[in-house]
Amino acid sequence: MSGDRTGVVVQIRLGSTRLPAKALLPLGGATLADMVLARLYLVPAELHILATDEESASALGAVAERRHFELFVGPADDVLARYCQCARRFSLDRIIRATGDNPLISHELASMLLARSVGQEADYMTFAGLPVGMGVELVLTEALFRAEAEARAPAEREHVCPYLYGHPELFIVEREPAPREFRFPQARVTVDTRADYEAMLKIYGALYSGSPISTASVISYLKKESLLSDDVPRSDRPGNGGGAR
């Protein structure tokens, strides 16, 4: 690795068009953004940073403060530049990248990814096979700086890492399968729409008791719900030992 100063950097802003200001929607007795940050604060990094835009900063500043996150303000739409500016401001060598629409993001797997990165030369690392909205990315800032200088496509600027994994001839990219007990790629735990939010309220209502829900509990719940929502008659469904369909 190029260095050992790690920052967990979560991008959040309030400009969503499908579900406006979703980061401030009620969840877990606080807000959706609170739940995201509470989980990510458990990842053992030197810094925890909420990276937003100028329009959203005043509303999100209070969330960052109560969750012990630094607040960084950068470009609204060029999120790659926002991350690179943040990395320079805080002298980061590597970043655990997360997004603010994932209130069940796995802090356990993020910590595992960070531990596995020690001594590795990969520019980009992630786990594959997780429910949508549960994973994170680990990226070296040197690689991000190169992407910032070379990436031109709007999608490569808005989504931060596509230039890296789109150019395997330039970067070392590792997509390791997630541990077997966490693999459930057909599930979805991100919040992009009103229906997603209502599903998240149901999950939190069933599992949340004041501290971050364990990833194992979430996976167990999702698999159970998948079986119960199946069209197969109840008597024909597999028991607890069966996999999700």
Segment 150-178 shows an average pLDDT of 96
Domain containing residue 219: 6-236
Q: Are the CB atoms for 72 and 60 separated by under 8 Å?
A: no
Residue 1 in any domain: the answer is no
Task: Assign 3-class secondary structure to 193-211.
Answer: CHHHHHHHHHHHHHHCCCC
Residue 224 in any domain: the answer is yes
- pLDDT bracket for residue 243 (50, 70, 90): very low
Whether 241 has a pLDDT exceeding 50, the answer reads no
- What residues are paired with 26 via a beta bridge? 31
Higher pLDDT, 236 or 128: 128
Residue 58 in any domain: the answer is yes
Whether 63 has a pLDDT exceeding 70, the answer reads yes
Furthest C-alpha separation in the chain: 59
Residue 146 in any domain: the answer is yes
Domain CATH for 99: 3.90.550.10
Tell me the one-letter amino acid at 89: R
What's the CA gap between 97 and 14, in Å, rounded? 18
Segment 149-173 shows an average pLDDT of 96
- pLDDT bracket for residue 108 (50, 70, 90): very high
- pLDDT bracket for residue 17 (50, 70, 90): confident
- Total structural domains within the chain: 1
Amino acid 3: pLDDT: 64
Residue 81 in any domain: the answer is yes
Whether 14 has a pLDDT exceeding 50, the answer reads yes
What's the CA gap between 12 and 15, in Å, rounded? 9
- pLDDT bracket for residue 52 (50, 70, 90): very high
- pLDDT bracket for residue 43 (50, 70, 90): very high
Burial class (CB in 10 A: 0-12, 13-18, 19+), 161: buried
Residue 243 in any domain: the answer is no
Higher pLDDT, 141 or 3: 141
Mean pLDDT for all residues in the chain: 91
Residue 244 in any domain: the answer is no
Residue 241 in any domain: the answer is no
In the chain, the DSSP E strands lie at 6-11, 26-27, 30-31, 47-53, 70-74, 94-99, 124-128, 137-140, 173-177
Whether 44 has a pLDDT exceeding 80, the answer reads yes
Beta pairing, strands 137-140 & 94-99: antiparallel
